[in-house]
Structure 1
Amino acid sequence: MLEQMLLSNLNNKAELDDESFEYKSIFLSSVVPDPTNGRFLPSICIDDEDARLFVARKLSKAQLTKLYQGEDHVLIGKSIIINCLKHGSEDWKRASQTIDSIIELGDNISVSEMIQAPTLYPLEDGRFQILTGHRRFFALVYAKGYGAAAQFKVYDSKPLLTKVKQFQENASREDLPQYGKLQAFSNAVTEIEQLNKARLQSGLSRLTVREIVPKLGISMGAYDNYKVLSRYPVVMSAYERGCSYSFIKMKRLILSLESQYKEAHNKSTLNAMDKRAVSELIEQQLQGIKKQPAKSKSPFITTSFASHTALQRLLTQDVTQLACGVDWSTLDWQDKKAVSAALECVITHLEQESETEKS
């Protein structure tokens, strides 16, 4: 679907970034979060009256959870945020961290204006979906109430490259967890790939890295970091579980293990099976298992014998005394290629001698 829309856009020679918008006052109750966004919380917004009753202790957490079927969700309303996810789970921990930042931002909104309005685009049912600014939206609900209105940047229609736009914002925010940034990058790259397919179908060339980087709003160095980090799904899973490694530290670990693996297995590039093996090594390192890849031992190269006499002489004579063209005094016995070549010379010489004797 997206690829067809991109193709149509390219055929009409329209600019992908030329999308009109305006600032509007929108009721928060008509705004829908995007579950594929890195800022998404499995949330349910509650009516202002129910929030007031809860704050006044006239509704309990259990009653509110039952009323909104809030199990495995975060209930958000004016002056309240209730984490109803399974206590102690990874989802609960991530939600708790996000909730703290939402409350802090909500308190700031209560006493000052929001500097950057969240962005929306219209849905067919008359509501609006969040493009960027999920945390700000939740903070608005917390500060003003679900029935209040707020200022939003509203696109006339859904932008074609929504994930690219989301990444542009997520990458620039220091407070977004690494997992959210990697997820946003992965989604943005998927859209870029769809754009490239559409470009090829319309007779255009694929975007180069130098053309992609400005669209993502990051530097070449940051792009390289993201590409390395997103190479192995196990890395994203580690960050999802709360890994505290910085991106730089994680990148160094990945490149180090790849280098060790290539050296151990005499590889210049990694195929799919190699990457699975490296992925296991990464996971072992992140779990604290200091297992290093074992170096493979390449064998000496030998050939089959055409003469049993040659084999007998090889095993029973001092072949270093043969005039077979090998300089045994300079032979590096640690060099497997050199030793194998010398052995080939000896075998060839012995077989020639055997043939001469037969004739």
Structure 2
Amino acid sequence: MLEQMLLSNLNNKNELNDESFEYKSIFLSSVVPDPSNGRFLPSIFVSDEDARLFVARKLSKAQLTKLYQGESHVLIGKSIIINCLKRDTEDWKRASQTIDSIIELGNNISVSEMIQVPTLYPLEDGRFQILTGHRRFFALVYAKGYGAAAQFKVYDNKPLLTKVKQFQENASREDLPQYGKLQAFSNAMTEIEQLNKARLQSGMSRLTVRTIVPKLGISTGAYDNYNVLSRYPVVMSAYESGCSYSFVKMKRLILSVESQYKAQYDKSTLNAVDKRAISDLIVQQLQGIKKRPEKSKAPFVTTSFDSPGALQKLLTQDVTQLSCGVDWSELDWQDKKAVSTALAQVIAHLEQE
């Protein structure tokens, strides 16, 4: 669907980045979150009256949860955020961390203006969907109430490259977690790839790094960092599970593992099998597991030949028939030391003939 729309725009020579917008005051109850966004919470919004009753302790958590069928969701309203996800699960932990930051931001909004407002685009049913700023939107509901209005940046239409736009508007924000940034980059690059396919169908060339970087709103160096970090899904999984490595440290680890792997197996390029192996090594590094080096197998020990004739006899004759002092019937062929000793005796005998 997106690819067809991109193809149509390219054929009509429309500028993909030419999306007009204006700032509007919108009721929060008219805004819906985007479930595909990394900042999304499985949320249900509580009316201002029910939120007031809960704060006044005239509604219990159990009553409110039942009233809104809030199990496996986060209930959000004026001055309340209730995590109803299953306790101690990964989803519950992630939601709890997000809730803490929403409450902090909501308290700030109560006493000062929001510098960067959320961005929206209109839906066919008259409501608006969040493009960027989910956490800020939740904080607005917490600070002002679901029935209040707030200022938003509203696009006239849904941007074609929504994931690129989301990454572009959030890439410079320091408060976003690494997992959210990596996920946003991965989603944006998926759209870039769809754009490239559409360009090829239109007889155009693929976008180069030089043309992709401005679309994402980052530097070439940052683009390279994101490319390395998103190369292995285990890295994103690590950040999702709470890994605290900085992007610089993680990139250094990935490049180090790749370099060692290429040197060990004499590889210049990596195929799918190699990448799976490297993924395992990255996981081991992150978990602090150092792979024990394989014990080198002891080689057979041979001596050098002084006589070409001795070498010829060794290779062309049945040396087990020689009277060289070796009891071949008793020789343990699995004992490399014993075999090496026997071989040395044979060579010495052949050298004397």
TM-score by length of 2: 0.83
For residue 29 of structure 2, what is the aligned residue in structure 1? 29
For residue 110 of structure 1, what is the aligned residue in structure 2? 110
Matches within 5 A, 1:29-108: 29-108=29-108
The answer (yes or no) to whether the contact 1:25–1:150 under 8 Å persists in 2 is yes
CA deviation string 1:73-132 (max 9, x = no partner): 111000011111122222122111111111111111112222222111111111110001
Decide which moves more: 106-115 or 232-241: 106-115
* TM superposition shift of 1:261: 0.9
For residue 284 of structure 2, what is the aligned residue in structure 1? 284
For residue 154 of structure 2, what is the aligned residue in structure 1? 154
The answer (yes or no) to whether the contact 1:225–1:251 under 8 Å persists in 2 is yes
SS at match of 2:14: coil
For residue 197 of structure 1, what is the aligned residue in structure 2? 197
Separation in 1 of the partners of 2:99 and 2:290?
36
Separation in 2 of the partners of 1:296 and 1:47?
70
* TM superposition shift of 1:24: 1.4
List structure 1 segments (4+ residues) > 3 angstroms apart after TM superposition.
Answer: 292-297, 309-317
Separation in 2 of the partners of 1:131 and 1:153?
10
For residue 18 of structure 1, what is the aligned residue in structure 2? 18
* TM superposition shift of 1:259: 0.9
Q: Which amino acid in structure 2 is aligned with residue 142 of structure 1?
A: Y
SS at match of 2:154: strand
1:83/1:273 CA distance change after superposition, 3 Å: same
1:310/1:168 CA distance change after superposition, 3 Å: farther
Matches within 5 A, 1:173-184: 173-184=173-184
Separation in 2 of the partners of 1:310 and 1:16?
80
CA deviation string 1:246-304 (max 9, x = no partner): 1111111111111111111111111000000001111111122111675999x9xxxxx
* TM superposition shift of 1:168: 1.3
CA RMSD of aligned residues (A): 2.1
Matches within 5 A, 1:1-359: 1-291=1-291, 313=313, 315=315
Identity over aligned pairs, percent: 89
Separation in 2 of the partners of 1:15 and 1:296?
62
Separation in 2 of the partners of 1:69 and 1:288?
43
Q: Which amino acid in structure 1 is aligned with residue 214 of structure 2?
A: P
The answer (yes or no) to whether the contact 1:265–1:295 under 8 Å persists in 2 is no
1:310/1:32 CA distance change after superposition, 3 Å: farther
The answer (yes or no) to whether the contact 1:265–1:296 under 8 Å persists in 2 is no
SS at match of 1:221: helix
TM-score by length of 1: 0.82
